[in-house]
Amino acid sequence: MKRILTILLLTLTSLQASASFSFLKQEPQVLPVDQAYTFDFAQQDNQLQLSWKMAGKDYYLYQEKFELAIDGEAVVGEIRYPQPENHFDDWFGDQPVYFDQVTLTVPILESSKDATITVTYQGCLDGILCYPPTRETIYLSEVAANDGVLPDAPAQTGPQTQQDGLASMLASDSLVLPLLTLFGLGILLAFTPCVFPMYPILTSIIGGQGNKLSTGKAFALSMTYVQGMALTYTLLGLVVASAGMKYQAALQSPAVLIGLAVLFVVLSLSMFGVYNLQLPSSLQNRLNNAQNQQKGGSFVGVFVMGLISGLVASPCTTAPLTGVLLYVAQSGDLVLGGAALYALSMGMGLPLLLLGTSGGKLLPRAGAWMETIKHVFGFLMIAVALMMLDRLYAGLVLDLLWALWGITLAGYLLLANKRTQFNWLKVSRTVVLGLALLGSVSYGMQAVMNRDAVNPAHDLAFVHIKTLADLEREVAKANAEGKAVMLDLYADWCVACKEFEHKTFPQPNVRERTDTMVMLQADVTRNDAEDIELLEAFDVLGLPTLLFFSADGEELSQLRVTGFMAAQPFANHLDQVLKL
């Protein structure tokens, strides 16, 4: 009777509130149960994790309503619960509940591969309604008989990495701060090696528009290019987060990189006057009328070039990018993840936008210098092609190509400078270009002389592995010696991987710590079936990724590093690894 009176009282109260000034009060949105509580699970060996993420701050789940039912040959232990909150509601009184998110850990004592677990849960929208009990079914992986003892979860003791912090920030109620933060981090990423090739691409587009380029059109072309780049970067990030790392790696395969290099060489030929890149005249005239007498197809072509250029930056895995990918992979929220990736992309595109817009003012409008600058942009596009190939064929051949590129560019500029009026500027240019020519020649000679020299950055105590079986064998061997393990997932197309090798790993403060560990490296450049199996086994979202294993053989997932880290921060990070 008391329960009925309570329900009636709540109903009358809600009716009264809705009848008076209801437009001043925003009630929480009532969602279907599968949207109110996003369910996920993961099994690793004899440990099953069941996770729920609530859709808002007013949704919660009851600790005492979780139940497990087994179908098939399987035995499980007691559920391991995190610390709940005590909450009073009008339905069940004082109850231990979970807000925001919760992860339960279930020991699997034994399981056949066709066994299933059905988990039942129940929750409420505070002060509005309670959902009926809901069930989810999980298919278990095969587990041999064991004692069911699980290691203490180290996530409570380890520090939060930058990418994990960004993923948590995206999961917060406020969206303005995360998006502004990612926009600002994108501006910083605009000055990294992966974004650098976009500058000559954009300047060549602006420079190839002719003599009558207004500031307004320069801005419009630059914005079109940046939007194309942002779209590719955003969609690619969502694909990687949703479908796995192998798609990102596939885009950096030799066929794709060589194809892009050839494309940029072909485009550079138009800068040298070999051909004129334009649409057929009939279609060009139609576009002229549709685009207010703009040059036919220019905006469409610039947008397509922006789409292609987004692939140039795709191998750059940084903490901000990985934080967004982690959030998308864990939550499945493609809308917020896409908005975050777009904010990051637009931050990366802001300097490009400023450069392209100013190009309308800074580029000469007429005369021989305009033709010279157009040819220089052709050289810059060839440089982009060499950067593509550098991910595949780093070594003597690429060094000689770079030297030849420098010699040709310096020689061309010296000839162009020779035709200018004699003054102190001409003398200064001659000196600078002469030094550049000598430097290019010296670079090529040094590459030939040092072709057999050993790169000290690669002279590290890495044990090279290929498969999951190799990893398990080396980790077991290290455990027998009581040593922790670091696994470096490396690829030739990964710029930040090479930064780790040249700038971080060789430093004394880092070597002092890695000398006490077993250092493994897996080269996944080929992206073959064994590489994909290794990457997917650890849900790797991008490279570089460094995995750490304790002296007991457990992966310290909370200490995983994704993206470049300088020597001192990395040394501090290793201290945390060695403590566990």
What pLDDT is stored for residue 234 in this prediction?
Answer: 80
> Whole-prediction pTM value?
0.46
* pLDDT at 121 (0 to 100): 93
Structure tokens at 445: 């000679």
What 3-state class would DSSP assign to 162?
helix
Q: What is the mean pLDDT of each run of 10 residues along the chain (580 residues)?
A: 42 41 46 88 86 88 90 86 81 81 89 88 84 88 73 46 59 70 79 66 64 72 84 75 56 70 79 63 49 50 76 60 61 73 83 73 53 77 78 74 91 86 85 90 83 50 90 92 92 74 87 92 84 83 84 85 83 86
Angle formed at CA 409 by CA 404 and CA 410, multiple of 5 degrees: 100
Q: Are 65 and 122 in contact (CB under 8 A)?
A: yes
Domain 33-145 matches domain 456-579 at the CATH topology level: no
Q: What is the pLDDT of residues 305-321, one digit of tens each?
A: 777 777 666 655 555 66
Please tell me the predicted confidence (pLDDT) of residue 519: 93
Site of tokens 């005239």: 285
Q: 33-145 belongs to which CATH class? A: mainly beta
- Cβ–Cβ under 8 Å, residues 199 and 225: no
What are the contacts of 52-57 at 24+ separation with CB within 8 A? Answer: 52/98, 52/101, 52/102, 52/103, 52/121, 53/100, 53/101, 53/171, 53/330, 53/331, 54/99, 54/100, 54/101, 54/123, 55/31, 56/28, 56/29, 56/173, 57/99, 57/100, 57/173
Separation between Cα atoms, residue 12 and residue 5, nearest integer Å: 11
Spell out the residues 6+ positions from residue 117 whose beta carbon is closer than 8 angstroms to its own. 48, 68, 69, 70, 71, 74, 76, 106, 137, 138, 140
Q: What is the pLDDT of residue 83?
A: 85
Please state whether beta strands 93-99 and 59-62 pair in parallel, antiparallel, or not at all (unpaired).
antiparallel
C-alpha span between 34 and 570 (Å, rounded): 41
CATH architecture of 456-579: 3-Layer(aba) Sandwich (3.40)
Q: Which residues pair with 157 in a beta bridge?
A: none
Q: In the chain, count H helices and then E strands.
A: 20, 17
Kindly list the distances between the CA atom of residue 574 and the CA atoms of 51, 159, 486, in Å, as whole numbers in the listed order: 29, 11, 9
> Tens digit of pLDDT for each residue in 198-213?
766 676 666 555 556 6
What pLDDT score was predicted for residue 488? 93
Nearest to 265 by CA among 201, 332, 341: 201
| Rg of the chain on CA atoms, in Å | 29
Provide the 8-state DSSP code for 153.
Answer: P
Q: 545-549 and 518-523: which strand pairing?
A: unpaired
Contact 504, 573 (CB under 8 A): no
**pLDDT number for residue 366:** 46
Domain-by-domain residue ranges, the chain? 33-145, 165-393, 395-407+414-453, 456-579
pLDDT score at 142: 85
Angle between helices 396-418 and 424-449 (to 10 degrees): 160
DSSP string, 486-545: EEEEE-TT-HHHHHIIIIITTSHHHHHHHTTSEEEEEE-TT--HHHHHHHHHTT--SSSE
pLDDT score recorded for residue 14: 44
What does the pLDDT read at residue 169? 60
